[in-house]
Chain A
Amino acid sequence: MSAARVYVRAAGAVTPAGTGVAALRRAAADPGWHPALGLPRPDAEPLPVAVCREFTTKDIVPPLLARRLDRPSRLLAVAAREALRAAGEPLPWAPERVGVTAGTWNSGTSALVEVLRAVFLTSPDEAPPAQFPSTVANAPASQLGILDKLGGPNITFAEKQVGGLRAIVEAARLLLARRADAVVACGVDEGDWLNAEGYARLRALAAPGRAGMVLGEGAGVLVLAGDPGPAPIAAVAGWGSASAPAPPHRYPADAAALAAACVQALARAGITASEVDLVVSAANGIPALAALELAAMDAVFAGHRPAALGVAERLGEGAAGGALRAVVAAMTVAGAVLPVWGCPAHLAAAGYPALLGPARVALVAGQAGGGSAVALVLTAV
C-alpha cells in the first residue's frame, strides 16, 4: 500500500461551535463567528479557554453509559460516533480490525484533581475509585474502544499541541503496516482549569494587552482507511515529523524542525511545494510560534505563496485543535466548505493570501512546546 492510499473516510467533531461537523462547517463559513471564552476555576477569574458550552451526549451516548464517562471521553465518544456512523452502519470493517489513535494534551487532569482533592483535603483512603481510571490520558480512546467494541490497536499520544496531528500520522502508519483495516484518528482535550492555570502562570495565555494562546476544548476525528472503504473525503498523501531541542515549556529557537517535517510530508506525498494551495496555520497567538511558522513557511515555499487559514484562534489550541485543523483541511479539499476565517496577520504581512477559492492540496503542520513538529499533507480525491 502506498502512502497515497490512506484515505479520510469520515469525520466527526465537537467544537466550541457546536456538536457535529455541520456546526463546524457553518462556523467556518461565518467570518464573524468567535467562540465563547471563559473556563471557570476555583477562587479566581475565568481563563481564556474556548469551551464547548452547548455540548451534550443526548441521543448519541445512552445516559447510563454517559454518566460513567469523564468529560474528555464523552467529547470523543460523540465526535467518534458521528464519524463512525458516517463511515457506515454497520461498519464496513470488522470491529476487531478497527484501531484508535488519540492525541491529547490534558485528558485526565480534571479527574486527577478530584483524586488529589480527596487525598489532600479529606483522607488518602477517600480517593474516589470511580475517578481513578479517568486520570490516565488514554481513558478517552479506551472508553471509545469499549463503547464501540473496537479491538484494534488503541494508542494515545502525548505531544502537547501536536498530539492530534501525531495521532493521524500514527493511524496512517498502523494502516500501512496492516495492523488495522481502519483507524479512528483523533485529538481530544477538555477545558481544565489546572492545565490552563499552569499556562497562565507562564504568561502564555491571551490576556488584555498581551498576545497569547486561547486553549481549546473538544474533539476532532478522522476515520482513516485504505481500500476498500466508503467514498473518501480526502487522501492522507504524506506526513513528516522532526524535533528540535527545547525545554518542555518553550518553543525551539529556530524553525528547522517545523520546516523539516513539512519537507518530509511533501516528499512522501510526491508533491512539490508549489502545488500546495492551502496552509492551515499553526498560529495560536503566541508571537514566538508565529515567527517560527513564518520562517518555516518561507523555507518550504520560497517564492510560492499558498493561501493560509487561521484556525487555532477560533477553535482553541491543543491536541484537539490540531486534529480539528486536519478536519477543516479535509473538508476544504473535499469542497465541503470554504473557510472564511482569514489569513493570520504574520503570514498576511509576508504576502500569503487568505483562502478565496477551492483548494486541492492542504498542508497542516504544528510545532509543540518542547520541540516536536508534525506535518500532514491532505489532498482532494
Chain B
Amino acid sequence: MSEVWITGIGLVTALGPDRETTWRRLVAGESGIGTVTLFDTAGFRTSIAAEVDAAGLALPVLDRTVLGHASRASRFALAAAAEAVADAGLASGRLDPHPWALVLGGGTAGLFEAEAFVARRLRGGARVRGLGELVDVPQDAPSDRLGLAFGLTGPRITVTTACSSSTIAVGLAAEMIRGGEATVALAGGADALCRLTYAGFNSLHAVDAEPAKPYDRRRHGLSLGEGAAVLVVEDAGHARGRGARPYARVLGYGATNDAFHMTQPEPSGAAWERTLRAALADAGVGADTVDYVNGHGTATEQNDPAECAAYGRVFAGRLADVPVSSVKGALGHCLCAAGGIEAAITALAIARATLPPTVGFAAADPACPVDPVAGTGRRGSVDVAVSASFAFGGNSAALVLGGAA
C-alpha cells in the first residue's frame, strides 16, 4: 500500500487569506473573531463570527465560466486550492498523466447568496426575479468550480457530514491514494457564513456572545466561522519522483456514528473513543505514540467535556502529557470546512514543530482536564498527531498524521 504525503496546503481563514498569514497570527495567539459585516445580526444572541475578508483573496486568473455566479464558498475553495497546488509545486491537473481526485467537504455552498433570493421569494411570490443566486446552491458546487478551474478529470467526491465533512474528505482522499486509485488528490473543504447557520445555532442557544473559549470553564458556546482548506494529498513515490517534500504523512483515518442524538454528543465519550481508536488502528500506531491532538473544541457546554472524556479513555494516564488544542477560538467553527482547516494546521504543527494555541482559553475546567496550549504557540516536536472532528448527527471522524519518516 502506498505511503501518503501532504505536499501542499492552502488556507483561507478569518485570520488571513493564505496559509502563512493564518499560521503566523494563530501561533501569535490572535483571534479572527469580530463583528459580522455580511448581514444584519439584530435579533440574534450574538453579533460576532470569524468572517473572511474576501477582498483579500488571491484568486487565480480564471475566466467567467469558472467564476460566473461563484459563491463566497466557491471563491474560498478556489483561492485555497490555487495556493495548495502552487505550494506543492504542481502546475495543473492537466499536466499530470494521472487524473487528480478531488474530495471536498461541502456545506452551505452558495446559500449565503441564495438567501437573498429566498427572502424575495417568500415576500414577493413566484414572480420575483432570480436565477444566478441559485447556481451555487448544490453542496458540491465548490467542487465543480475546482474541477472547472483546474481541468480535473478524476473522481470528484463531495462529503457532507456537517462538522466532520472535510476530515472524512481528507481521509477518503488518502484512502484513494493508498489504494492506487489516484496519485494526487485535492482534499479539504469550504464553508461560508450565512443567515441559516447563524440563526440555527442561535436558536439552539449554542453561540456565545463573546468569542469562543474552548476547554475553558467560562465557555458559553461557539463562535461561527468560515473559510477553506485544500491539501494536496499525494502518493509518496509520485512526490519523491518530482522532488517534493511533505509537511506530514497521512497515516490513517477513522469514522463512526454515535447513534445518540442529532445535536447532543454522547456524554461519556465512549462513542468518540471508538472513532479515535478506529483511526489509530487504521494508522497502525498506538495511543501511546500520539504527541498532539488538534481537538474539536467548539466551546459548547456539552461538546468539550464529552470530547475530553474520550481523550481520557484513549490516553488514560497520559492525558495530561498530550497537548490538546482547538483553533476555534481563533478561526471560529467553520463547520464543513473545519476539519480540513484543522488537518492543515495539524500538518503545519508537525512540519514546524510548533503546537498552535487554544486562543481564548484562560481558566481551566475540571471537566476538560487537558493541556490546551494556552496563550501562544509552543515549540514541540510532533511525530504523531490526531485531528478530531465531531458533528451533528453523531458523525465523527479523526485523522492520524505523522511526521516525515
Docked-complex contact A43 and B394, CB < 8 angstroms: no
Docked-complex contact A248 and B202, CB < 8 angstroms: no
Complex interface residues of chain A between 315 and 366 (CB less than 8 A to chain B): none
Interface centre among B127, B254, B282, B394 (most CB of A within 10 A): B394
Interface string of B146-161 (1 = CB under 8 A from A): 0110011111111111
Q: Is residue A379 contacting chain B, with contact meaning CB distance below 8 A?
A: no
Give the interface size class of chain A.
35 or more
A371: chain B residues within 8 A (beta carbon)? 144, 147-148, 156
Q: Is residue B304 contacting chain A, with contact meaning CB distance below 8 A?
A: no
Of the candidate stretches A7-15, A28-36, A130-138, the one touching chain B is A130-138
Q: Is residue A271 contacting chain B, with contact meaning CB distance below 8 A?
A: no
Interface centre among A105, A118, A132, A194 (most CB of B within 10 A): A132
* Contact of A143 with B262 at beta-carbon distance under 8 Å, contacts A121-B122, A127-B203, A372-B140 already known: yes
Distance from B183 Cβ to chain A, minimum over Cβ atoms (Å): 15
Docked-complex contact A153 and B259, CB < 8 angstroms: no
Q: Is residue A245 contacting chain B, with contact meaning CB distance below 8 A?
A: yes
Docked-complex contact A247 and B65, CB < 8 angstroms: yes
Q: Is residue A85 contacting chain B, with contact meaning CB distance below 8 A?
A: no
Q: Is residue A86 contacting chain B, with contact meaning CB distance below 8 A?
A: no
Of the candidate stretches A144-152, A225-233, A283-291, A293-301, the one touching chain B is A144-152
Assembly CA distance A376 to B258 (angstroms): 30
Assembly CA distance A201 to B42 (angstroms): 32
A112: chain B residues within 8 A (beta carbon)? 111, 196
* Contact of A158 with B147 at beta-carbon distance under 8 Å, contacts A124-B202, A129-B204, A202-B131 already known: no
Q: Is residue A125 contacting chain B, with contact meaning CB distance below 8 A?
A: yes
Interface residue from B134, B158, B203 paired with A158 (Cβ < 8 Å): B158
Complex interface residues of chain B between 158 and 192 (CB less than 8 A to chain A): 158-162, 168, 172, 175
Interface residue from B123, B168, B198, B262 paired with A133 (Cβ < 8 Å): B262
Interface residue from A43, A119, A159 paired with B158 (Cβ < 8 Å): A159
Docked-complex contact B144 and A370, CB < 8 angstroms: yes
A243: chain B residues within 8 A (beta carbon)? 102, 147, 152-156
Complex interface residues of chain B between 246 and 282 (CB less than 8 A to chain A): 254-263, 271, 274, 278, 282
Interface residue from A117, A129, A195, A201 paired with B131 (Cβ < 8 Å): A201
Interface string of A141-175 (1 = CB under 8 A from B): 11101101111111111111000001000100100
Docked-complex contact A136 and B392, CB < 8 angstroms: yes
Q: Is residue A210 contacting chain B, with contact meaning CB distance below 8 A?
A: no
Q: Is residue B13 contacting chain A, with contact meaning CB distance below 8 A?
A: no
Docked-complex contact A156 and B161, CB < 8 angstroms: yes
B393: chain A residues within 8 A (beta carbon)? 133, 136, 138-139, 141-143, 145-146, 154
Assembly CA distance A353 to B148 (angstroms): 36
Docked-complex contact B122 and A242, CB < 8 angstroms: no
Distance from A4 Cβ to chain B, minimum over Cβ atoms (Å): 16
* Contact of A44 with B126 at beta-carbon distance under 8 Å, contacts A151-B257, A158-B138 already known: yes
Q: Is residue B106 contacting chain A, with contact meaning CB distance below 8 A?
A: yes
Assembly CA distance A113 to B118 (angstroms): 8
Docked-complex contact B263 and A157, CB < 8 angstroms: no
Q: Is residue B60 contacting chain A, with contact meaning CB distance below 8 A?
A: no
A194: chain B residues within 8 A (beta carbon)? 118, 121
A137: chain B residues within 8 A (beta carbon)? 139, 160
Assembly CA distance A177 to B106 (angstroms): 24
* Nearest 9 pairs of A and B residues by beta carbon: A142-B393, A370-B144, A44-B126, A132-B200, A154-B257, A158-B139, A43-B125, A124-B43, A127-B199
Residue numbers of B with Cβ under 8 A of A are: 41-45, 65-66, 68, 99, 102, 106, 111, 115, 118-119, 121-123, 125-127, 130-131, 134-141, 143-145, 147-148, 151-162, 168, 172, 175, 195-196, 198-204, 254-263, 271, 274, 278, 282, 391-395
